Amino acid sequence: MKNRIILTAMGLLAASGALAQAGKGAPSEKGWEFGAVLDTTATSRPLAMGSRDKGLQLGHSDLTAHGPPGAHLAGGVVARVAPQGGKLEKGFGEVWLEPPSLPAGLQLRAGRFPSQVGYLNTQHPHADDFTDRPLLYRAFFGGHWNDEGLRLSWTAPTSLYWTVGVEAFRGRKLVTETANTPGHIGAITWATKLGGDLNRSHSWQLGLSHINNRREAAVEDEAEHAEEGHDHSHSAQLSGRKTWMIDATWKWAPNGNNRDQQVRLGFEAARITGLNRFASGRDRHEANALSAVWRFHPSWEVGARSDWLRGRMPHGEHFHNLLLREHSLMVAWKPSHQQTLRLQWTGQRDAVGVDAPARRSLQLQYILAFGAHGAHAF
């Protein structure tokens, strides 16, 4: 019963494999590829709602494998080690299967994989421009939302990039303690992305996402709140029934050559409503993040990011205000595609209802990649 979604998905994949064979049909000749990513970070002071503790520690580090488990299937496995509460958590971040050549621009994926919502969530953390995800992701998704479920997406056969997808997930990461039992499908998402090139130097992408979270958060009383607080977590710290997200990305590279120079601007915003059965229309969570990164040399990048988070923390039948602002500056040295050395300063201010905000935090991060790893998203 626990794996009904996965079993159903495997049945659909078997049928879609037959479709792929009847369509393009040629078995993939590409074999399995293996890789690893090591993330080590030294932190002077942990951030509120952050994922890294003080001192030197291992960050999100992966062992990856991608290849064809069958003649008409592609698959991926990501074994992950991540810090949690002073300890290292080990587990599978991704285990998925998909037919690589469905007709009519369709794609079907089943297993455990990142949700399509937002811009950063489909990107592996080691490809981020900053040491930590924005407040939006840390508060609403525990940093990165991977889940067990099924995705069906469609890409339009046009010169302008346009894709639409729907997902059904268990949704456990969205709500730590649930007040109901929604069954095997705890969250349903849909998302669409639109993008293209203005000319050889300028490109853009827009995204709109929605999450219908069927898991209702358990009502927390004052004693539980005082005991637990809001600390590091790999699950959502703020949740609700309905989530809307928008994202916008613009990139500039002279004549399309992003090796020597590139400017990247990114914006994401989200709103969550339906916090619990006692919430009114004004009780909601909101967050946004604005970032800019400039590659001024093939090996050097500088960047800045500004985050804002506002929420209404439920305690029994009433709500308390929550507010936090965060600003980050970083410089990164990338001597090769496999290595990144990043120094980042982050300051948090205007904190209301947040435990131990960091007025100043320095982080020194070193990322080393071995072997093959997936192509980075736009």
The per-residue pLDDT for 86 is: 64
Query: In this predicted model, which residue has the larger pLDDT, 312 or 247?
Result: 247
CATH code of 110's domain:
2.40.160.10
Structural domain containing residue 244: 104-369
Q: Is residue 186 part of a domain?
A: yes
Query: In this predicted model, which residue has the larger pLDDT, 129 or 371?
Result: 129
The per-residue pLDDT for 222 is: 44
pLDDT > 90? residue 364: yes
Q: Is residue 15 part of a domain?
A: no
pLDDT > 70? residue 224: no
Contact 169, 185 (CB under 8 A): yes
Q: Is residue 161 part of a domain?
A: yes
Cβ atoms within 10 Å, residue 32: 12
Task: Provide the mean pLDDT of the chain.
Answer: 85
Give the chain's largest Cα–Cα span. Answer: 61
Q: Give the Cα separation of 363 and 46 in Å (integer).
A: 9
Q: Is residue 342 part of a domain?
A: yes
Q: Is residue 277 part of a domain?
A: yes
26: confidence class by pLDDT, cuts 50, 70, 90: very low
HEC string for 259-326: CCCEEEEEEEEEEEECCCCCCCCCCCEEEEEEEEEEEEECCEEEEEEEEEEEEEEEECCEEEEEEEEE
CA–centroid distance for 324 within its chain: 20
The per-residue pLDDT for 169 is: 95
Q: Is residue 211 part of a domain?
A: yes
H/E element holding 216? none
pLDDT tens-digit series, residues 257-305: 888 999 999 999 999 998 888 888 889 999 999 999 999 999 999 999 9
181: confidence class by pLDDT, cuts 50, 70, 90: low
Q: Is residue 9 part of a domain?
A: no
Q: Is residue 21 part of a domain?
A: no
pLDDT > 90? residue 21: no
Q: What's the domain count of the chain?
A: 1
pLDDT > 60? residue 202: yes
